[in-house]
Amino acid sequence: MLSLSLIFSGCGFQLRTDADLPPEMAKTKMVIGDEYSDLARRLRIMLEQGGVKFVSSEEATAILEIPVDQVATDVLTIGDNARVREYRISHTVRFRLTDSDGQVLLDWQNLRQAREVSFDEQRILAGSREQEYLKKELADTLSRMLVSRLEMAQAGPG
């Protein structure tokens, strides 16, 4: 066990701890079109674990604006039988962080993740489940990326 921990510490491995967010985010108002989207739910959980309390606009010390939280499916290839063979699921997010006075803590940021999927018409039900799983995975990945960007606001606007 000791040698295993020495190996992990030697390569720089660290367990992920709570996010090191700007102090202004202690009381945050999140402005997003669909507060029940996969991204919004996952982001809320991650930020709450980092010590953020979500409040109304009147109480907020920071405002996290997310005007774009868009999932799209694009056809990549079509087979001989005129059916989709491959498609891409992409998730795009645009956000910024301001304090309660409108001072920009983190200027507009754009994040995008995509996954390509092969469609097997013999496994339609499994394909549908896979698509839902990928959408949730993309939302989770983008939530982690977004929190990492918010941590950068500690160093100042940018």
Which residue carries 């941590």 as its tokens?
151
CATH of the domain at 145: 3.30.160.150
Number of domains present in the structure of the chain? 1
Confidence band for 12, pLDDT divided at 50, 70 and 90: very low
Taking the whole predicted model, whether its pTM rises above 0.85 is answered as no
Task: Summarize the chain as % helix, strand, coil (round to 5).
Answer: 40, 35, 25
Query: Which of residues 158 and 37 earns the better pLDDT score?
Result: 37
Query: Which of residues 3 and 51 earns the better pLDDT score?
Result: 51
Confidence band for 132, pLDDT divided at 50, 70 and 90: confident
Confidence band for 81, pLDDT divided at 50, 70 and 90: confident
| 113 CB neighbour count, 10 Å cutoff | 17
Domain range for 111 is 21-155
In contact, 150 and 21? CB cutoff 8 Å: yes
Strand-strand pairing, 104-118 and 84-99: antiparallel
Q: 137: alpha, beta or left, given left = phi > 0 and alpha = psi -120 to 50?
A: alpha
